[in-house]
């Protein structure tokens, strides 16, 4: 009988458990805000519900007794709560945010990152290409960010009271000796490398990682793209030249190679739109590049990039020294750049990066006062070979340690009318750095760099420290401190190799608020210069200086429909005593106030993008030799204004994805004076002005993608 009862019980067990119980409750986050869309369930049953806008839920269930109620919502840790169900039950659940990448603080003092990967990056790689007036040049686009100067009469990126020489460019961690095309006097110098080569661009205006050395002010860190998504061919044509390229993705999708060639000649353009000074040789550029990329394993990657380029150009200007005569400047340049990069995960949280690079640059310059003197011939030649290796070890969830070393072999040759002045430098450096997360909201980066240069025969140790603390989900503060050393410029080292390192010490404080569509950054900095090069009375490294300032950046991608704009403002207070300066003064490349607005407007219906960029800076000091020494650099140029416009139209011509671009730099043709040059008798002066004040560019690019989608369609 007992057994029969048991049998009956077993048979009716499922039935016994019938009977409906109502479960209700409310889901909130840690701050008691209701959470919508939470999936509430009784574990291992189908019973449950989704929370409404007020966080409440309600459902019925047939189960009784001890049960587990689960609550799941993306971005939150799944909650499981033990309950005893015996009739109606109210269950309130508090859910906690997941600690994910968005909530983990990252070090941001001094740096702007453009990348597709991080959700909180300030710029995307496409932003560089689509900034009006920048002409798809990385450095020109960066000149719309705070910290940079509108120093468009000299080569390089002038950052926070530093010269162009104080900014270094790195591709995949390897130093680039000549990142700019060799150009004519009073020209800004265009970057050699297309922004399309890089998936990530980090512009650091100070306080950067110990991985990078030999830049007193700034580092431009470029990370090359990985495998292309498909094979493609491209063609480009513009008012100044043509280009063509191909990129082939291997069948197994683990490797690719590509070649590109371009030819630029400004001749036809300059025949129509005359420059201020005539060209004795119209600028002509011939270039070719090749790349090869291969996945060597699931995590390993090998990349090669090689580039060769030849340019020729010359101008003739009225002579300042000899009235009635003309000065000719003619330049021939040859440049080769190559690098080979390897990265691999070694397991156990170890990562290995290594690189080899070789580059060479030759500038041949002829200077001639026409019909008066015999031409002077200048030849500058530099070669740089380098090797770098770095190991990274992940420590726990976020922390990490990295260390490595590099060696550079550089040959700097120069000849003036066959009078040579050459030197060779063997430069070695080691670095170690650790990112230590005390909590996911607080990180410290501690590191240092040791360098030795054989030509100086001196070593240095540069400590670097950064801290970042996340205040809320969107905002954070960062602090950075560091010492930065750099060898004096080649033209001084050539003649006096026993100089010391120049040195800058940075102190930076940043507040940053980054929401999905808005970015606000405020940064204050103080930079102390030591041991700058002095050329008077003797060539020594005894110059001094400082730079301090405050910078603002605001970007808004949402408020106005189809519109994206950003505003940068930099206040800079800097003085230095270097070269032939008699005492500390504001140098002739620095402006006190710099302001930029970049505005981009998309018209989706006709797939057209319009852009306008306005840049402004206050006047720069210039040297008037007619004034007494005490008034050195006391006069200032007019303010600088520039408006760049661009329009691009996307379409397809047959199967080629095609883009038409029209861009105009300095559209209103504002007069821009960067300084004045005086004759040695101080009687005459010449304005330093752009030779082509307004440039109109019209071009088209076609990309013939070998789209797998098309294959599929054709096979049907």
Partner 1 sequence: MKRILFSICLFVGLASVSMAQSAQYESVMTKNVTMLDDSANFNPDRLLEIGNTFERIAAAEKTQWLPFYYASYCYVMSALMQRDNDKVDDLADKAAVNIEQAEAISPKNDEINCIKSLVATSRIRVDPPTRGMKYGMESAELLAQANQINQENPRVYMLQGQSLFYTPEQFGGSKTEAKKKFQTALEKFSAFKPASAIAPHWGEAYTKGLLAQIK
Residue 440 is classified by DSSP as T
Nearest CB to partner 1, comparing residues 29 and 707: 707
The yes or no reply on residue 224 touching partner 1 (CB under 8 A) is: no
Nearest CB to partner 1, comparing residues 41 and 142: 41
From 22, 124, 274, 671, residue interacting with partner 1 (rule: CB under 8 A): 124
CB of 377 to partner 1, least distance (A): 49
Nearest CB to partner 1, comparing residues 226 and 349: 226
Nearest CB to partner 1, comparing residues 2 and 371: 2
CB of 41 to partner 1, least distance (A): 4
Q: Which residue has the tokens 């210069």?
A: 529
From 16, 19, 22, 45, residue interacting with partner 1 (rule: CB under 8 A): 45
The yes or no reply on residue 607 touching partner 1 (CB under 8 A) is: yes
CB of 710 to partner 1, least distance (A): 7
The yes or no reply on residue 96 touching partner 1 (CB under 8 A) is: no
Nearest CB to partner 1, comparing residues 1 and 272: 1
**Dihedral angle sign, alpha carbons of residues 335, 137, 215, 470:** negative
From 88, 229, 373, 417, residue interacting with partner 1 (rule: CB under 8 A): 229
| Of 119-127, 262-270, 452-460, 683-691: span binding partner 1 (CB under 8 A) | 119-127
The yes or no reply on residue 716 touching partner 1 (CB under 8 A) is: yes
CA distance 495 to 482: 30
**Dihedral angle sign, alpha carbons of residues 131, 133, 135, 138:** negative
Per DSSP, the chain holds a count of helices (H) and strands (E) of 6, 40
Beta bridge partners of 665: 695
Whether the CB-CB separation of 431 and 407 falls below 8 Å is answered with: no
The yes or no reply on residue 39 touching partner 1 (CB under 8 A) is: yes
From 96, 372, 682, 708, residue interacting with partner 1 (rule: CB under 8 A): 708
CA distance 658 to 539: 55
**What residues between 666 and 705 interact with partner 1 by CB under 8 A?**
705
Across 662-695, b (16+ Cβ under 10 Å) vs e yields: ebbbbbeeeebbbbeebeeeeeebebbebbbeeb
The pair of structure tokens assigned to 411 is: 């040959």
- CA distances 361 to 170, 207, 418, 460, 677, Å, are 17, 30, 18, 28, 29
Site string for partner 1, 614-653 (x = CB under 8 A): ------------------------------------xxx-
CB of 120 to partner 1, least distance (A): 13
From 126, 471, 560, 603, residue interacting with partner 1 (rule: CB under 8 A): 126
Site string for partner 1, 47-66 (x = CB under 8 A): xxxx----------------
**Dihedral angle sign, alpha carbons of residues 394, 400, 404, 410:** positive
Q: What are phi and psi of 516, to 5 degrees?
A: -60, -40
CB of 444 to partner 1, least distance (A): 31
From 276, 655, 671, 682, residue interacting with partner 1 (rule: CB under 8 A): 655
The yes or no reply on residue 603 touching partner 1 (CB under 8 A) is: no
Helix (H) or strand (E) holding 129: helix 125-129
From 125, 173, 287, 587, residue interacting with partner 1 (rule: CB under 8 A): 125
Nearest CB to partner 1, comparing residues 374 and 715: 715
Site string for partner 1, 6-25 (x = CB under 8 A): xx--xx-xx-----------
Residue 251 is classified by DSSP as T
Whether the CB-CB separation of 592 and 571 falls below 8 Å is answered with: yes
- CA distances 166 to 92, 205, 219, 306, 310, Å, are 59, 11, 9, 25, 26
Beta bridge partners of 446: 434, 465
Instruction: Give which of 387, 336, 359 is closest to 173, Cα–Cα.
Output: 387
Instruction: For the beta carbon of residue 225, count every other beta carbon within 10 angstroms.
Output: 15
| Of 4-12, 162-170, 207-215, 238-246: span binding partner 1 (CB under 8 A) | 4-12
Residue 637 is classified by DSSP as P
The yes or no reply on residue 707 touching partner 1 (CB under 8 A) is: yes
From 65, 74, 472, 629, residue interacting with partner 1 (rule: CB under 8 A): 74
CB of 115 to partner 1, least distance (A): 10
Nearest CB to partner 1, comparing residues 93 and 240: 93
Across 31-68, b (16+ Cβ under 10 Å) vs e yields: eeeebeebbbbbeeeebbbebeeebebebebebeeebe
Beta bridge partners of 176: 169
The yes or no reply on residue 713 touching partner 1 (CB under 8 A) is: yes
Q: What are phi and psi of 574, to 5 degrees?
A: -140, 145
Q: Which positions lie near partner 1, rule CB under 8 A?
A: 3, 6-7, 10-11, 13-14, 37, 39, 41, 43-50, 70, 72, 74-75, 116, 124-126, 229-230, 516, 607, 650-652, 655, 657-658, 705, 707-713, 716
């Amino acid at each position: 009988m007992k057994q029969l009862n048991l049998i009956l019980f077993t048979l009716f067990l499922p039935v016994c458990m019938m009977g409906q119980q109502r479960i209700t409750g409310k889901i909130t986050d840690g701050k008691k805000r209701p959470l919508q869309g939470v999936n509430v369930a009784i574990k291992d049953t189908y019973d449950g519900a989704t929370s409404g806008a007020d966080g409440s839920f309600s459902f019925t269930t047939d189960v009784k007794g001890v049960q587990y109620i689960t609550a799941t919502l993306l971005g939150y840790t799944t909650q499981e709560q033990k309950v005893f169900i015996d009739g109606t039950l109210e269950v309130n659940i508090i859910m906690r945010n997941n600690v994910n990448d968005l909530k983990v603080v990252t070090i941001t003092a001094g740096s702007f990152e453009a990348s597709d990967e991080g959700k909180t990056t300030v710029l995307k790689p496409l932003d560089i290409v689509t900034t009006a007036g920048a002409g798809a040049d990385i450095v020109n686009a960066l000149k719309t960010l705070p910290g940079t100067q509108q120093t468009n009469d000299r080569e390089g990126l002038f950052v926070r009271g530093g010269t162009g020489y104080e900014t270094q460019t790195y591709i995949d961690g390897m130093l680039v000796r000549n990142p700019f095309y060799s150009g004519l006097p009073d020209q800004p110098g265009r970057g050699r490398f297309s922004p399309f080569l890089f998936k990530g661009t980090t512009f650091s205006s100070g306080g950067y990682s110990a991985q990078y050395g030999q830049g007193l002010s700034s580092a431009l860190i470029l990370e090359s793209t990985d495998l292309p998504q498909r094979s493609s061919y491209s063609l480009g044509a513009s008012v100044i030249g043509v280009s063509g390229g191909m990129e082939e993705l291997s069948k197994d999708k683990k490797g690719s190679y590509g070649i590109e060639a371009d030819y630029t000649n400004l001749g036809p353009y300059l025949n129509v739109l005359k420059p201020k000074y005539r060209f004795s040789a119209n600028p002509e550029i011939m270039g070719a590049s090749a790349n090869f990329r291969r996945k060597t394993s699931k995590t390993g990657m090998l990349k090669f990039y090689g580039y060769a380029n030849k340019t020729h150009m010359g101008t003739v200007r009225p002579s300042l020294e000899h009235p009635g005569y003309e000065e000719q400047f003619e330049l021939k340049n040859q440049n080769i750049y190559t690098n080979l990069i390897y990265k691999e995960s070694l397991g156990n949280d170890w990562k290995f990066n290594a690189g080899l690079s070789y580059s060479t640059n030759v500038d041949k310059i002829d200077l001639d006062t026409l019909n008066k003197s015999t031409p002077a011939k200048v030849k500058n030649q530099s070669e740089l070979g380098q090797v770098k290796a770095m190991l990274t070890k992940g420590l726990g969830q976020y922390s990490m340690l990295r260390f490595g070393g590099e060696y550079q072999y550089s040959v700097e040759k120069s000849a003036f009318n066959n009078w040579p002045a050459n030197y060779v430098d063997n430069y070695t450096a080691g670095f170690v750095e650790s990112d230590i997360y005390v909590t996911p909201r607080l990180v410290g980066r501690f590191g240092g760099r040791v360098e030795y240069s054989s030509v100086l025969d001196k070593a240095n140790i540069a400590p670097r420290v950064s801290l970042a603390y996340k205040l809320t989900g969107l905002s954070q503060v960062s602090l950075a401190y560091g010492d930065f050393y750099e060898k004096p410029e080649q033209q001084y080292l050539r003649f006096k190799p026993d100089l010391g390192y120049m040195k800058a010490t940075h102190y930076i404080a940043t507040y940053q608020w980054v929401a999905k569509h808005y970015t606000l950054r405020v940064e204050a900095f103080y930079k102390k210069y030591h041991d700058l090069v002095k050329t008077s009375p003797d060539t020594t490294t005894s110059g001094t200086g400082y730079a301090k300032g405050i910078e603002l950046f605001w970007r808004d991608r949402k408020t106005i429909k189809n519109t994206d704009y950003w505003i940068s403002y930099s206040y800079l207070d800097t003085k230095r005593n270097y070269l032939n300066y008699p005492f500390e003064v504001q140098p002739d490349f620095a402006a006190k106030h710099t302001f930029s607005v970049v505005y981009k407007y998309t018209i989706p219906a006709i797939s057209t993008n319009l852009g306008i960029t306005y840049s402004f800076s206050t006047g720069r000091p210039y040297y008037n030799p007619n004034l007494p020494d005490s008034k050195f650099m006391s006069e200032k140029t007019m303010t600088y204004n520039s408006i760049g416009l661009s329009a691009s139209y996307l379409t397809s011509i047959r199967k080629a994805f095609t883009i038409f671009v029209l861009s105009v730099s300095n559209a209103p043709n504002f007069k821009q004076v960067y300084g004045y040059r005086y004759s040695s008798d101080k009687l005459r002066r010449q304005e330093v002005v752009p030779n082509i004040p307004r440039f109109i560019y019209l071009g088209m690019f076609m990309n013939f993608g070998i789209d797998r989608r098309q294959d599929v369609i054709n096979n049907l």
